[in-house]
Amino acid sequence: MSPLNDEQAKEYWRRNVSLMVKLLVIWFVVSYGFGIILFDVLNQIQIGGYKLGFWFAQQGSIYVFVGLIFYYAKKMAALDREFGVEEEE
């Protein structure tokens, strides 16, 4: 692990925050937008006998959130490798 200089540290943090903001926007749109705002519109669509709005409100947003966690971990591991600050095994 090599220490980062100030410019590298700022770029690393900027890209980390940028990734987090993008993922939080996706999480917000799925949980609040699909689960609450677009609930009635999505209920017009049925998948497997369940209304899509109900599915997003009850389970879909949780699945998306878990998927975002795995995506964040993968992207941060790549970012750590790029900046040379990955954890040693």
pLDDT tens-digit series, residues 27-47: 999 888 888 888 889 889 998
Return the pLDDT at 87: 80
In a domain, 45, yes or no: yes
In a domain, 70, yes or no: yes
For residue 51, pLDDT beyond 70? yes
Range of the domain at 10: 6-83
Interatomic CA distance for residues 57 and 25, integer angstroms: 17
In a domain, 40, yes or no: yes
Q: Are 30 and 61 in contact (CB under 8 A)?
A: yes
In a domain, 1, yes or no: no
Query: How many domains is the chain built from?
Result: 1
In a domain, 88, yes or no: no
Provide the percentage of residues in the chain whose pLDDT is more than 70: 97
Grouping H, G, I as helix, E, B as strand and the rest as coil, residue 50 is strand
For residue 71, pLDDT beyond 90? yes
In a domain, 89, yes or no: no
Of 10-14, 29-33, 71-75, least confident by mean pLDDT is: 29-33
In a domain, 47, yes or no: yes
